[in-house]
Amino acid sequence: GAVVSQHPSWVICKSGTSVKIECRSLDFQATTMFWYRQFPKQSLMLMATSNEGSKATYEQGVEKDKFLINHASLTLSTLTVTSAHPEDSSFYICSVPRDSFGEKLFFGSGTQLSVL
């Protein structure tokens, strides 16, 4: 069964609104979670590393004020896309390093965001 739960699976919103995506590690306490973005026919691109109890680490070119990450517990990380615009429309996926060394990533089912 799934070890990472991501919700919602799809969302449509108006330009200028904010959208929150949740990622839960179901049976593993994760101090670290990763957020990826995938545009059609392109690679999964790492956006940020979510760290439990501390600030997220963002990849170069990712706006931290636009993509707010909160990792409030060992099983939950949230990504909030603030003031969404059509160019933010994409497939967002979270992942959790599954074992103690973290080299095996398990992914959520993804969230398709469409901004009108």
Partner 1 sequence: QKEVEQDPGPLSVPEGAIVSLNCTYSNSAFQYFMWYRQYSRKGPELLMYTYSSGNKEDGRFTAQVDKSSKYISLFIRDSQPSDSATYLCAMSENYGGATNKLIFGTGTLLAVQP
Enumerate binding residues for partner 1 (CB under 8 A): 4, 6, 9-10, 31-32, 34, 41-46, 49, 51, 57, 91, 93, 95, 97, 99, 101-110, 112
CB of 29 to partner 1, least distance (A): 14
CB of 65 to partner 1, least distance (A): 22
- Comparison of 61 and 101: residue with beta carbon closer to partner 1: 101
Distance between CA 56 and CA 65 in Å, rounded? 11
Read out DSSP for 39-80?
Answer: -TTS-EEEEEEEETTS--EEPTT--TTTEEEEEEETTEEEEE
